[in-house]
Amino acid sequence: NAAGYPSRCRPFVDSNLSLDILFGIVTLTCMYKQTTKPGMFDGCIYFNLSTLTRKITKIWEEEFAKLGLSPSHGYLLFAIAENPGASQKELGEIMELDPSTVTRFVDTLVVKGLAGKPVRGKGASIHLTADGKRQYRKIKKTMDTLYGKMQDHFGEKEFGSFVDGLYEARQSLSDKQPGPADESR
């Protein structure tokens, strides 16, 4: 029965070919047709999120470059300011980053004179320097400006709902990694 197949594949399903041959033809034909059409990944979560991430990252990088930081370093500095005395381990949990990544980012902030850690190691508490506190205020303004630009572009309510949905999706994937059957979209 062709009902379960996309319309572009139905002519192949309706023929009287054996199921094995039919499956191969349908799969190859649908893959070929999908790869030759613009917008072929419009329904694909991976493609849409990856593309959106690249576009959003470009906007964020341009704004954070004015502060001499990458967005990742800026967000870590923000997390340090909002969580005084947090350890690298705690910052990793807040930022959902691997310990080695947090170490590299903290070391960069220390070299730039924006953060300090009195003791070496992952258990050390991280603090902002006076320059780091000044930079924090600039980062906060930049984040507010970027958020406002996104609200203006998408609409305040729509953007809020979108961010809430992304958060919920992120949280649900933290609890359960998708299995093979879940990865089709």
Q: Per residue in 137-157, pLDDT tens?
A: 999 999 999 999 999 999 999
> Is 92 exposed, middle or buried (CB count within 10 Å of its CB: 0-12, 13-18, 19+)?
buried
> Is 126 exposed, middle or buried (CB count within 10 Å of its CB: 0-12, 13-18, 19+)?
buried
- The pLDDT of residue 174 is 82
> Is 180 exposed, middle or buried (CB count within 10 Å of its CB: 0-12, 13-18, 19+)?
exposed
How does residue 54 score in pLDDT terms, banded at 50, 70 and 90? very high
Mean pLDDT of 47-51: 93
pLDDT at 181 over 80: no
- The pLDDT of residue 42 is 86
> Is 124 exposed, middle or buried (CB count within 10 Å of its CB: 0-12, 13-18, 19+)?
middle
- The pLDDT of residue 40 is 85
**Tokens at residue 50, please?**
């990856």
Mean pLDDT of 118-137: 87
Question: What one-character DSSP code corresponds to residue 182?
Answer: G
CA distance 50 to 33: 22
- The pLDDT of residue 184 is 44
**Tokens at residue 32, please?**
């070929």
- The pLDDT of residue 63 is 97
- What is the share, in percent, of the chain residues with pLDDT greater than 70? 72
Contact status, residue 106 vs residue 97, Cβ threshold 8 Å: no
Mean pLDDT of 111-138: 89
Q: Is the whole-model pTM more than 0.75?
A: no
Query: What residue ranges do the domains of the chain occupy?
Result: 1-40, 45-184
DSSP strands (E only) in 77-145: 115-116, 127-128
What is the per-residue pLDDT across 90-113, written as a single tens digit (0 to 9) for each?
Answer: 999 999 999 999 999 999 999 999
Q: Which of 109, 112, 57 is nearest to 86 (CA)?
A: 109
Q: Domain 45-184, what architecture?
A: Orthogonal Bundle (1.10)
How does residue 26 score in pLDDT terms, banded at 50, 70 and 90? very low
